[in-house]
Amino acid sequence: MDRNPTHITLTELIALNQHAGSLRLRASHIQARQTGQYLSRFKGRGMEFDESRLYQPGDDVRNIDWRVTARTGNTHTKLFHEERERPVFIGIDARAPMFFATRGLFKSVVAAEIAALLAWAAHQQGDRLGGIIFSADEHRELKPRRGKQGVLRLLQALSNAAAGRPEQIIETPSLSPALSRLNRIAHPGSLACLISDFRGFDEESESLLTQIARHNDVVLIHVYDPLEYRLPENGQYRLTNGQRTLDINTTNEHFQQDYTARFSNRINQLESFSRLHRIQWLQCRTDQSPQDILHRAFGFRAWPKRRAG
């Protein structure tokens, strides 16, 4: 039976549990030597002090325990272990432009599927799960909770948001209010995932996301429709959101080129920003499988092999 492309049910979100088993949202490849020559997949969870031992060649001098060194007269290094669990926060964009698609599923539905897969992966790893679902006039904040009930709470909120009637589009609001909330609740060492079309990503949003990325692992997942990147072949087309209609004429070649260039420039800026701040950037079209996108990024085979030595 064909599924409804405009909304998603709680039952469908729960069923995605079976596809999250191979996703790994953790720093499995932590460096044995903290010299900076190897990059882990994430910056890592919070690190807790374990003990001090005598300094060994190759130890990072930044981890020298100066207090013990002064007391014993021998150079000692601090050892740390990775926290057993960490909060995972998922931010989901439920603003009006997300309720749109010309191919595949609504952006809001794709975002809900991605969020559900990440939520189930976090649960299977024993992490606490929290989230923010935001629209232009409402923010639903879910505090971190461990266990299946924490996942179901988020999935129910996602299903309700996807079934809701979006507010009338007047002007896409800034992402900064949602990022401000995320910055407030994401404690250092958390994993913060933001699923959005990134409309309204302004200077204030950039500043807030920089603050979040300074002490947390951040994953940005851009959901977009093919029409947002490239207009259809020459012709006259009518678009509607159920409330208003828009007629577009794509016969002007310069208009088409400018349209595509504006989208590309915006995405290139986001990609450059992500690289600068060691943020993971992913993209998923409305006609692509969220499962495939996430498994390529976080599946077993997506992890780099360890270097010898």
CB 107 within 8 A of CB 101: yes
Q: What is the pLDDT of residue 70?
A: 95
For 98-110, what is each residue's pLDDT tens digit?
999 999 999 999 9
Confidence of residue 309 (pLDDT cuts 50, 70, 90): very low
In the chain, residues under CATH classification 3.40.50.410 are 10-22+86-302
Q: Does the pLDDT value for residue 31 go beyond 60?
A: no
Read off φ and ψ for residue 219, nearest 5 degrees. -125, 125
**If you average pLDDT over residues 4-33, what whole number do you get?**
76
Angle at 292 between CA 277 and CA 218, to 5 degrees: 20
Residue 274's pLDDT band (cuts 50, 70, 90): very high
Domain 10-22+86-302 bears CATH identifier 3.20.20.220: no
φ and ψ of 33, to 5 deg: -115, 130
Region 185-211: mean pLDDT is 94
- As a whole number of angstroms, the distance between CA 43 and CA 41 comes to 7
- The pLDDT value recorded for residue 193 is 96
Instruction: Check residues 59 and 220 and name the one with the higher pLDDT.
Output: 220
What pLDDT sits at residue 82?
56
**What value, to the nearest 5°, has the Cα angle with vertex 192 and ends 187 and 193?**
165
Cα(94)–Cα(173) distance, integer angstroms: 12
204-213 pLDDT per residue, tens:
999 999 999 9
Mean pLDDT taken over the chain: 84
Share of residues in the chain with pLDDT > 90 (%): 57
pLDDT confidence tier of residue 85, bands split at 50, 70 and 90: low
Q: Is 28 left (phi over 0), alpha (psi -120 to 50) or beta?
A: alpha
pLDDT of residue 242: 63
At residue 41, the pLDDT reads 47
Give the angle subtended at the CA of 212 by the CAs of 211 and 214, to the nearest 5°: 65
Query: Is 0.85 surpassed by the pTM of this model?
Result: no
CA dist 184 → 180, 187, 188, 211, 261 (Å)? 6, 8, 11, 10, 35
pLDDT of the residue at 32: 28
| Dihedral angle of Cα 100, 103, 108, 113, to the nearest 10 degrees | 180
Q: How confident is the model at residue 48 (pLDDT cuts 50, 70, 90)?
A: low
